[in-house]
Amino acid sequence: MTRLPTFPVEGGCACGAVRYRLTKAPPFVYTCHCSDCQKLTTSAFTLSAPVARDTLEITQGTLKSWTRATTESGRPTDQHVCANCGVRIYSEPPQAPDRVTLRLGTLDDTSWLRPAAAIWMKSAQPWFIPTPDMLTFDKQPDDFARVAVRWREIMEDPQG
Ligand SMILES: [Zn+2]
Ligand SMILES: [Zn+2]
Q: Are 15 and 103 in contact (CB under 8 A)?
A: no
Q: Provide the residue ranges of all domains of the chain, joining segments of one domain with +.
A: 2-156
What are the tens digits of pLDDT across the range 53-69?
Answer: 999 999 999 999 998 87
Question: In terms of pTM, does the model score above 0.85?
Answer: yes
For 76-115, the pLDDT digits (tens) are 789 999 999 999 999 998 878 899 999 999 999 999 999 9
Peptide bond into 8 cis (omega under 30): yes
Provide the 3-class DSSP secondary structure of residue 122. helix
Sign of CA dihedral 79, 127, 122, 113: negative
Q: Under CATH, what is the fold of the domain 2-156?
A: glutathione-dependent formaldehyde- activating enzyme (gfa) (3.90.1590)
Ion ligand 1: residue ranges with CB closer than 5 A = 13, 15, 17, 82, 84-85
What distance in angstroms lies between residue 144's CA and the mean position of ligand 2's atoms? 15
Distance, CA of 153 to CA of 147 (rounded, Å):
10
Span from the CA of 60 to the centroid of ligand 1 (angstroms): 10
> In whole angstroms, what is the distance from residue 25 CA to residue 55 CA?
9
Q: Which of the residue ranges 22-31, 33-42, 81-90 would you say has the lowest mean pLDDT?
A: 33-42
**Integer Rg of the chain from CA:** 15
